[in-house]
Chains A and B, each alone.
Chain A
Amino acid sequence: MEWEVVIGLETHAQLQTKTKIFSGASTAFGAEPNTQACEVSIALPGVLPVLNSEAVNCAIKFGLAVNAHIAPRSVFARKNYFYPDLPKGYQISQYELPVVGKGAITIQVPAVGKNAAYEKVINITRAHLEEDAGKSVHGAVEGMSGIDLNRAGTPLLEIVTEPDMRSAAEAVAYAKKLHELVQWIGICDGNMQEGSFRCDVNVSVRPKGSDKLGTRREIKNLNSFKFMTQAIEFETRWQIETLEDGGAISQATVLFNPDTGETRAMRSKEEANDYRYFPDPDLLPLEITEADKARVKAQMPELPEAMKARFEAQYGLTSYDAASLTASRELADYFVAAVTAGAEAKPAANWVMGAISAKLNAEEKTLADSPVSAAQLASLLKRIADNTISNNAAKQVFEAMWNDEGEVDAIIEAKGLKQVSDTGAIEAIIDEVLAANAAMVEEFKAGKEKAFNALVGQAMKASKGKANPAQVNEILKKKLS
């Protein structure tokens, strides 16, 4: 039987606010334990939550970015459960009336093997505001667990999709797109190691063609795209094998073990989760007006989709190039900075996606650490455009710039890469070449087109690669006609 995997994601994005969602305690990462845990964070009796306006702005930004319905009125609810890192005994979240309703994100799924790349729309079910819990720390005191409540109350936006994805590749393409988007609009720093962006993946399988969903298992807390791929692939295989062996899938929460590459069900709780959600009487309904949305919209950067369309229209880039350049804010900003500094758009696009991306990948660097700035790239491209250097020489100059050997013009000078564009000088070289290669000239005149290229090659060689190839072509043609 042919099987189909059905995947939905729940992502927790930590919002980039200075303070917690319901108190004025700092959210800075890496502080000494409990030094950013105020009376609200540690849930002393009698304290009351006061909602952070910036957390609300972040939610509005996300809603606008995915064309979602933003609730004019949303409600905070208590999700009740007991755990040492949750001193109140409940998490303040949103349940029936979330701040962000249905929206959508278009993903680009890359080509794999014979399968071509394609676009797909992933529907967002909802996104809601909630607070994070604290952290358990083991090993400080034998036989006890330590609780650090610095993270308790950090604002999160939980973003939930419809079960729209049909492969690990689609799930990862969505997760990457979302990861870029939240950073693009400045609501989350996207730091997966520090837990700022965590994904739970719901996986089920069903016979291909069936419209009934199978029983799902939820893979918790994946914090890298590589693990996400491995976890989904393992889980899918496991579910298919279990069903083919006549077994049944029971709903469960599973953890991925990066060492073994396997998923394993967590010890099942004695009682099924029963969170007894109810509206939090400490918080009034959150009202978001059209004016609030307009104010937030005015602060938002141009969104990737809009920027992509603009790049195509304004710079004549292909859809593919424009999509690649707007895959991250960093990349797009770098490209725009290079163009603003005087580079032509198309070569700038090629260099950013080609030489620069290749170097960054090879050295595992980000654009922020690029030794060649956008302005420096622009000055290099200007030297190609004004015929000072050839494309080939430009590669050598780029290499030298990358290794911090100086500015463009100094490198061209030092390495003697300046292209010869002086017609007289080129004519002299060509005359010599023609005199020395009479046989080739005869061949050409006898109709052998290839001989022409050989002559160009000889001329370039004679100039030590410095002659302007376009001029060599032109002058040679004239002399041979």
Chain B
Amino acid sequence: MALSIDDIKKIAHLARIEVSESEAQATLSKLTGIMGLIEQMQAVDTTGIEPMSHSQDLTQRLRDDVVTKENLRAEFQKNAPALGNGSNEPAVAEGLYLVPKVIE
């Protein structure tokens, strides 16, 4: 499968990564290389082999439904991103993490 520069831009946008034209070109050649690798793997005859969804052939271990986490809000919120506009204070208020206004 051939990737185009538009594919790269779309993928970058979906991942919210800003790429310049030259970065997009560089990424295109890297990703094209990876796609080549995938094509090579797809050429292998895997008839009769059950697909795996994880590289380790193990199954999920489960946790008991018991509260083990204490309230560490104060600690966590010290580490919140800075409020900005010249303030280095963490962007929190009334226990909430503050973000730019969300409007639907």
- Interface on A for B, CB 8 Å cutoff? 17-19, 23-26, 32-39, 42, 44, 50-56, 73, 75, 80, 82-84, 97, 136-138, 140-141, 143-149, 266-267, 271, 274, 276, 279, 281, 283-287
Contact = CB atoms under 8 A, between A and B. Distances in A.
Interface of B: 10, 13-16, 53-56, 58-69, 71-73, 76-77, 91, 93-102, 104
Contacts of A52: 62-63, 65
Given A25-B69, A32-B95, A143 B63 contact: no
17 contacts: A17-B65, A19-B65, A23-B69, A42-B97, A51-B60, A51-B63, A52-B65, A56-B62, A136-B102, A140-B98, A141-B98, A143-B101, A147-B98, A281-B54, A283-B60, A284-B54, A285-B59
Given A19-B65, A33-B94, A284 B99 contact: no
Given A26-B69, A37-B73, A52-B62, A279 B53 contact: yes
A375 B59 CA distance: 50
A75 B96 contact: no
Given A25-B67, A56-B62, A80-B15, 11 more contacts: A18-B67, A24-B68, A34-B77, A34-B96, A51-B63, A84-B99, A84-B102, A141-B98, A146-B98, A284-B61, A285-B53
Contacts, number: 132
A132 B64 CA distance: 19
B63 A147 contact: no
Contact of A39 (B54, B67, B76, B99): B76
Contacts of B101: 138, 143-145
Nearest to A82: B16
B62 A51 contact: yes
B100 A24 contact: no
A447 B51 CA distance: 90
Contacts of B95: 32-35, 148
A426 B72 CA distance: 79
A37 B56 CA distance: 30
A144 B98 contact: yes
Contacts of B77: 34
B66 A19 contact: yes
Nearest to A25: B69
B53 A24 contact: no
B71 A36 contact: yes
Nearest to A278: B53
A94 B55 CA distance: 18
A50 B68 CA distance: 12
Contacts of A146: 93-94, 96-99
Contacts of B68: 19, 24
A266 B104 contact: yes
Contacts of B10: 271
A25 B104 CA distance: 29
Contacts of B54: 279, 281, 283-285
B14 A271 contact: yes
Nearest to B77: A34
A37 B59 contact: no
B79 to A, nearest CB: 8
A478 B74 CA distance: 89
A145 B93 CA distance: 10
Contacts of A144: 91, 93, 98-101
Contacts of B104: 266-267
Contact of B97 (A24, A34, A283): A34
The 5 closest A-B pairs by CB, nearest first: A146-B96, A24-B68, A54-B65, A33-B95, A53-B62
B14 to A, nearest CB: 6
A435 to B, nearest CB: 78
A18 B60 contact: no
B11 to A, nearest CB: 9
Nearest to B76: A42
Contact of A34 (B14, B16, B73): B73
Contacts of A17: 65
B68 to A, nearest CB: 3
Contacts of A284: 54, 56, 58-61
Nearest to A33: B95
**Candidate in B94, B95, B97 with the most chain A CB atoms within 10 angstroms:** B97
**Candidate in B71, B94, B96 with the most chain A CB atoms within 10 angstroms:** B96
A162 B84 CA distance: 49
A19 B66 CA distance: 6
Nearest to A32: B95
Nearest to B99: A84
A34 B75 CA distance: 11
Contacts of A33: 94-96
Contacts of A39: 72, 76
A145 B68 CA distance: 29
**Candidate in A56, A140, A146, A271 with the most chain B CB atoms within 10 angstroms:** A146
Contacts of A149: 97
Contact of B93 (A23, A25, A50, A141): A141
Contacts of B14: 80, 271, 274, 276
**Candidate in A34, A73, A138, A284 with the most chain B CB atoms within 10 angstroms:** A34
